[in-house]
């Protein structure tokens, strides 16, 4: 088992390194000169050249890449020209909010989506099933940011139950979490239903039924544990979607998280911020996927056997 953990850890180091190089290179080839952008188009060429030298963007690509990677190692993400503050300070303050939002989205969509999927599969063909299928289909089709805006109209403006922006109390988090979870919730419902239906048709479930195991025990003791194995991967994978949802939700509900920081930076062409935020979020995503893979390996005896058998 430890060999597997080590292998995955080693892979993660390379993936993170790859992401850092990829994002840096993408940003390197953005048309436009950051120094020119800061000073304005009418700036003195000598001033521009001085700022370029100060920012280190007059050096060759490989030197810049090396500096960037080295700085990343020391958690130095550069300075945001827009706010004139080190990126790391904003990240320290904002990252927990974004992570909290995405984790809550995942918890919400998992706690509701999986039971809905199980209910649908157990009652296949009955009204509960039809209901879940229709609702999850609609939930997948509606864009999350639109749902957020509509929820502001209904629950903030008309009913006044929740604030429409900011992070003043727990109430501020209700609308972003619920509206951004709808898509993932629908996805969870559909996939749990599919996984469960597949397992219910498996031979060993038929055997259990033939032995006279009660219907309840067949579903919850025989079928469910196996149906949940693919669902675990799904939960881990949905962290990416939840992060994306959090970024958009922060923009809609004006929540001072990493997502709002990023979208503002994109519009202001603040590249130091954009590349740092993308790399940081990618590292978090990779870590979550690593944990998912490890959990998966522990619960799935087939993967465990591959590594302990040898």
Question: Where does this chain bind other proteins (CB under 8 A)?
Answer: 11, 14-16, 18-19, 22-23, 26-27, 29-31, 137-138, 140-143, 145-146, 149-150, 152-153, 157, 239-241, 243-244, 247-248, 251-252, 262-263, 266-267, 274, 278, 281-282, 285-286, 289
Evaluate whether 265 touches 274 at the Cβ level (below 8 Å): yes
Residue 130 to residue 93: CA distance in whole angstroms: 45
Give the three-state DSSP class for 85: strand
Between 110 and 186, CB nearer to other proteins: 186
Minimum CB separation of residue 284 from other proteins in Å reads 9
Minimum CB separation of residue 285 from other proteins in Å reads 5
Between 9 and 30, CB nearer to other proteins: 30
For residue 102, give the nearest of 235, 241, 234, 233 by alpha carbon: 241
Minimum CB separation of residue 221 from other proteins in Å reads 28
Between 20 and 122, CB nearer to other proteins: 20
Between 83 and 145, CB nearer to other proteins: 145
Question: Tokens representing 28?
Answer: 């390197």
Minimum CB separation of residue 289 from other proteins in Å reads 8
Minimum CB separation of residue 218 from other proteins in Å reads 24
Between 224 and 242, CB nearer to other proteins: 242
Number of neighbouring beta carbons within 10 Å of residue 141: 9
Strand partners, 79: 86
Residue 188 to residue 42: CA distance in whole angstroms: 54
Minimum CB separation of residue 259 from other proteins in Å reads 9
Residue 50 to residue 56: CA distance in whole angstroms: 10
Between 218 and 235, CB nearer to other proteins: 235
Between 144 and 208, CB nearer to other proteins: 144
Minimum CB separation of residue 24 from other proteins in Å reads 11
Evaluate whether 97 touches 168 at the Cβ level (below 8 Å): no
Residue 250 to residue 263: CA distance in whole angstroms: 9
CA distances from residue 214 to 118, 193, 197 in whole angstroms, order as listed: 17, 21, 18
Evaluate whether 297 touches 11 at the Cβ level (below 8 Å): no
């Amino acid at each position: 088992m430890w060999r597997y953990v080590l292998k995955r850890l080693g892979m993660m180091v390379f993936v993170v390194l790859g992401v850092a190089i990829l994002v840096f290179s993408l940003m390197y080839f953005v048309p436009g000169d950051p120094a020119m952008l800061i000073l304005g188009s009418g700036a003195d060429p000598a001033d521009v050249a001085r700022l370029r030298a100060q920012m280190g963007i007059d050096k060759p690509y490989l030197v810049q890449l090396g500096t960037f990677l080295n700085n990343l190692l020391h958690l130095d993400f550069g300075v945001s020209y827009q706010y004139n503050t080190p990126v790391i300070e904003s990240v320290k303050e904002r990252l927990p909010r974004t992570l909290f939002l995405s984790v809550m989205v995942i918890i919400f969509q998992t706690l509701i989506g999986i039971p809905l999927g199980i209910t649908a599969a157990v009652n296949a063909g009955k009204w509960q099933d039809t209901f879940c299928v229709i609702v999850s289909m609609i939930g997948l089709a509606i864009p999350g940011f639109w749902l957020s805006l509509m929820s502001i109209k209904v629950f903030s403006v008309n009913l006044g139950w929740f604030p429409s922006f900011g992070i003043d109390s727990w109430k501020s988090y209700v609308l972003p979490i619920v509206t951004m979870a709808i898509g993932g919730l629908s996805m969870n419902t559909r996939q749990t239903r599919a996984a469960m239906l597949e397992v219910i048709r498996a031979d060993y479930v038929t055997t259990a039924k033939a032995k006279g195991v009660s219907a309840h025990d067949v579903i919850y003791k025989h079928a469910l544990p196996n149906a949940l194995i693919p669902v675990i991967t799904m939960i881990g994978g949905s962290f990416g979607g939840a992060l994306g949802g959090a970024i958009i939700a922060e923009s809609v509900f004006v929540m001072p998280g990493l997502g709002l920081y990023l979208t503002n930076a994109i519009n202001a062409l603040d590249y130091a911020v954009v590349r740092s935020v993308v790399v940081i979020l990618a590292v978090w995503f990779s870590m979550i996927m690593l944990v998912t893979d490890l959990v998966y390996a522990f619960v799935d005896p087939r993967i465990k056997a591959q590594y302990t058998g040898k």
